[in-house]
Amino acid sequence: MRILVTAGPTREPLDPVRYLGNRSSGRMGYAVAAAFAAAGHHVLLVSGPTHIDVPAGVDFLPVETAAEMFDAVARHLDRSEIAVFAAAVADFTPARPEPEKIKKSGTVLTLELVPTRDILGSARDPLGFTGTLVGFAAETSDVLENARAKLTRKKCDLVVANDVSAPGIGFDSHENEVTLVWPEAGEPLERASKHEIATIIVEKVLARHTRRHQAPAAP
């Protein structure tokens, strides 16, 4: 099957040398891409800048900004049967990036930020994706309620929820502790390495996709 995975942070330029970014390492998304490839699938990884190696056997499309990630996803989504959006996409971008380096002026600098487009939230409409759709929800409070709201709002089949305020897990760490929020129930997974968690997510997503999309066996 063809799988699209987004991963990593985005960088929103302020001027030629500065950007707005976030603490996503990209590890969770890269582990998901690696697990799908290890299961024999054709994976396209659309990734913001990270320090990790592209997993073996994965096609790689590097991007920098939220707008570039949106365009890359829009170009490739209709060729995918499963899409996993693990990227930490900036919700805001500078309204007018400066063409020259911003100089100190000794006074307060006020930035005007405008919202970016929600890539996961656009997958069903307007992008028309009909396959299995998986999102992530990085939360600091009311984790399950917020994740379930994202599941409904973004029309996902699964949202992987994690509490990024908990020490030792989530952003920038090798371990994670997540709850799989399905339409019918929440399924907590034990704390484990991102590699182990990715393997479980991939097994469960493949099983659900196969159940939903395979024609019933002939009598």
Is 135 among the residues that bind ligand CTP (CB under 6 A)?
yes
The least CB distance from residue 204 to ligand CTP, in Å, is 16
C-alpha separations of 137 from 67, 146, 162, 194 in Å: 20, 8, 6, 15
Counting contacts by CB under 6 A, is residue 31 touching ligand CTP? no
Instruction: Identify whether 146 is a catalytic site residue.
Output: no
75: Cβ–Cβ under 8 A, 6 or more apart, which residues? none
Residues paired with residue 5 on neighbouring β-strands, in sequence order: 45, 84
What three-state secondary structure class fits 58? strand
Q: Does 83 bind ligand CTP (CB under 6 A)?
A: no
- Binding status of residue 66 toward ligand CTP by CB under 6 A: yes
Which CB sits closer to ligand CTP, 162 or 199?
162
Q: Kindly state whether residue 120 participates in binding ligand CTP, applying the rule CB under 6 A.
A: yes
Any alpha helices (H) in the chain, and if so which ranges? 27-38, 66-76, 119-122, 143-153, 194-213
**Is residue 119 near ligand CTP by the rule CB under 6 A?**
yes
Count of residues engaged in binding ligand CTP, rule: CB under 6 A: 15
In the complex, what is the shortest distance from the CB of residue 61 to ligand CTP, in angstroms, rounded to a whole number? Answer: 15
Alpha-carbon distances, residue 178 vs 84, 138, 164, 175 (angstroms): 15, 10, 10, 10
Is residue 30 at the binding interface for ligand CTP, with CB under 6 A as the rule? Answer: no
Q: Angle between the 194-213 and 27-38 helix axes, to the nearest 10 degrees?
A: 50
Pick the binder of ligand CTP from 5, 37, 43, 138 (CB under 6 A): 138
In contact, 102 and 15? CB cutoff 8 Å = yes
Strand partners, 12: 20
Choose, by CB under 6 A, the member of 37, 63, 87, 169 that binds ligand CTP: 87
Asked if 150 touches ligand CTP (CB under 6 A), the answer is yes
Residues that bind ligand CTP (CB under 6 A): 6, 66, 85, 87, 89, 91, 116, 118-120, 135-138, 150
